Structures are given as C-alpha cells and as structure tokens.
Amino acid sequence: MQERCINPNTKLEDTGFGYTLSLIGGKYKMIILYWLGEFEVLRHNALHRLIGKISFKMLSATLKELEKDGLISRKVYPQLPPKVEYSLTDKGKSLIPILFDLCQWGDDQRKKQ
C-alpha cells in the first residue's frame, strides 16, 4: 500500500495534492491540458471545437488561468487578424503522463463493466 500524501491533521490546501488540485481543478482545465498534450500547439478556435460545450468566454478565462499558473504558454503573432497559439510549458508537459494514466485507468475500468 502506498504511503499517505496527506496527513489527516493538515489542511488539504497546504498539501501537494491541494496544490495540484488548485492548478488542474475545474471543469475544463484537464481537458485543455489533454488536448494540448495530444496536439502540442492549438489555437483558440481549435480548442473550442475539440472541447465542444464551452463558451468562448469560459475558454478564454480558463486559458488565462492555466497561463498564469505556468502550465501553458500563449504565443501571439503580430499579424492581422491576430494569430494566437497555445502550447504546454515544461511544467504542463510534466502532467501529461498523469493525464494519460487517468485515460488508461478509465479504459480499463470501462472494460470491467
């Protein structure tokens, strides 16, 4: 059995688990990270199409949070109309194996049903 990562007497937000949740928690963050892990570089509209039911405003806000937290980078090309591309930072790339493991776990569990 694995050792506990959270001491029962410690607040969740003061743990590594709490920190991780603060970065990837939310409805769309892991989905955005997953798609950037698959395609490496995506533009706003491409992400919107891949995610589906997300407003442009919510996507923009989520991308800004991920950028602020250092998980993705935003590259703006000086042209008209402006071209903006999103990609994973090294910090964001370090989460991809974990997300792919979650995918594998889900596939394995679905097969057991």
Least confident segment among 6-15, 22-31, 59-68 = 6-15
Cβ partners under 8 Å of residue 66, min gap 6: 29, 32, 33, 72, 92
68-96: average pLDDT: 94
What's residue 5's pLDDT? Answer: 67
Average pLDDT, the chain: 90
Domain boundaries, the chain: 28-112
Report whether pLDDT(1) > 60: no
The domain 28-112: what is its CATH number?
Answer: 1.10.10.10
CA R_g for the chain: 16
- Please state, for a pLDDT cut of 70, what percent of the chain lies above it: 94
